[in-house]
Structure 1
Amino acid sequence: MYNGKTDPVEHVSHFNQRMAVNSRDKAWMCKVFPSSLGPIAMKWFDSLKADSINSFKELTQAFGSRFITCSRVPRPLSSLLSLSMRERKTLKTYSDRDWEMYNEMDSNFEDVAISTFKSGLPTEHGLRKSLTGKPITNLCQLMDRIDKYKRVEEDQQMGKGKDKVIP
C-alpha cells in the first residue's frame, strides 16, 4: 500500500513487479493500480477528472508528479566521506551506518567506500590496523573482515557482563 510518504517511483516499480504476469494488459493495470493505494493516495486518485488519464504510463506519471516530494534523493559521495566511528560507539553501529549510506548512493564507489570506511575508524582500532597491514580489494572482503571484528567486539562486551556479581 502506498501511504503517501514513500518514494512513488519505488512504489510503481514494486507494483509492476507484482503485476508482471499482466503487464501487457495496460487497461487492467490501470484498473488494479488503485488497489495498491492507501487513503492519502486514494484521495488523490478519486479526485482525478473522468477521462483525464489515457494510459497506464500517464497514470504513473501523474502519480509520480503528485507525490514527487516523497521521492528518494540519492546521497552524494560527500555523505560517505563524512562518516567516522565516534567515541564509545560500536563497530556494528558504525558499519551499519556506513552500509546504509553506501546503499543510498546511486553510483558504485566501491574503492572509495573501502577507503573511507577505513579512514573513519580510530587510528588505534584493531580493524584499521588490520586493513592497513592486510589491504583488501573489494567490499565482500571488507564485510568479512568487519564481521570478524564485530564478533570479537561482541565477545568482549559479553565478557564484561560476566564479571558483575548479582546480589
Structure 2
Amino acid sequence: MAVHSKDEALTCKVFPFSLGLVVMRWFDGLRANSINSFKKLTQAFGSRFITCSRVPRPLDSLLSLTIRERETLKTYPNRYWEMYNKIDGEFDDVAISTFKVGLPAEHCLRKSLTGKPVTNMIQLMDRIDKYKRVEEDQQQGKCKAKVIL
C-alpha cells in the first residue's frame, strides 16, 4: 500500500489485496460507486472495524494476575504473557517482579527468582521453562529432579 500511496486510484484498487476473508466480504458488499476516495474508504473501514482494534491494558493489570489453585507452570505463564503483550511500553523490570509476586511464597520458582534474580524477560522465560520441565517430570511420576541454575 505504501508503494502506491501517491496514486489514490491505484491505492483503492490495491487495497482489497491486503484484506482477510471477513474484511473482504465487507468490501465486496459495498455498493458500487458508494465511495469515491481513499480517504472515504479508510473512514468506512475504520467505522466498521473499530471494534477489532487493540485497546492497550494498563500496567497495573499485571498486578492482578496470580497463579490459581492447582494451576501449573504450563498455563500460568501463558495467561501472564497474554496480558503482558496487551500492555504498551517497556516494563520488563515490573513484569519480572509481578510474575514472581503472582507465585505463592512457597513455590520453588519464586524462591529461585528471589535467590537468584533475573534481569530480563529472556532469562525469566528460560527459568520458567526449566521449572516447567521439572513440574512435568513430577506429574509424570519421574523422580523429583532438582533444577540446577
Per the alignment, do residues 39 and 123 of structure 1 end up closer, same or farther by CA in structure 2, a change over 3 Å counting?
A: closer
TM-score, with length taken from structure 2: 0.79
* Distance in 2 between residues matched to 1:27 and 1:95, nearest whole Å: 47
Aligned-pair Cα RMSD in Å: 2.5
The structure-2 alpha-carbon separation of the partners of 1:26 and 1:152, relative to structure 1 and needing over 3 Å to count, comes to farther
Say which of 77, 82, 104 aligns to 2:86: 104
In structure 1, the partner of 2:36 is 53
Structure 2: which amino acid aligns with 1:50? N
Q: Which has the higher helix share?
A: 1
Q: For residue 147 of structure 1, what is the aligned residue in structure 2?
A: 129
Q: Unmatched 5+ residue regions in structure 2?
A: 143-149
**Alpha-carbon contact 1:34-1:42 (below 8 Å) kept:** no
Q: Which residue of 2 aligns with 1:69?
A: 51
Q: Deviations over 1:59-102 (max 9, x none)?
A: 22320122212222112212211000111100111111101110
Q: Which moved more, 1:41-50 or 1:138-147?
A: 41-50
Query: Structure 1 pair 145/24, CA: closer, same or farther in 2 (3 Å)?
Result: farther
Q: Are the aligned partners of 2:57 and 2:88 in contact in 1 as well (CA < 8 Å)?
A: yes
Counterpart of 2:81, as a letter, is: W
Q: Which residue of 2 aligns with 1:93?
A: 75
**Mapping of residues 1-167 of structure 1, within 5 Å:** 16=1, 26-35=8-17, 36=19, 38=21, 42-43=25-26, 46-48=29-31, 50=33, 52-55=35-38, 57-159=39-141
How far 1:113 sits from its partner (Å)? 0.4
1:126 deviation in Å?
A: 0.4
Supply the distance in 2 between the matched residues of 1:22 and 1:108 (Cα, whole angstroms). 33
Unmatched tracts of structure 1, length 5 or more: 1-15, 161-167
Give, in angstroms, the shift of residue 31 of structure 1.
1.6
Q: Distance in 1 between matches of 2:22 and 2:102?
A: 43
Counterpart-to-counterpart distance in 1, 2:83 and 2:104: 19
Distance, in Å, in 1 between the alignment partners of 2:136 and 2:105 is 20
Percent identity between the aligned chains?
67
CA distance 1:107–1:53, change in 2 (3 Å): farther
Greater relative contact order (Cα < 8 A, sep 6+): 1
Aligned residues: 141
Moved more, 144-153 or 36-45: 36-45
Most deviating of 106-115 and 71-80: 71-80
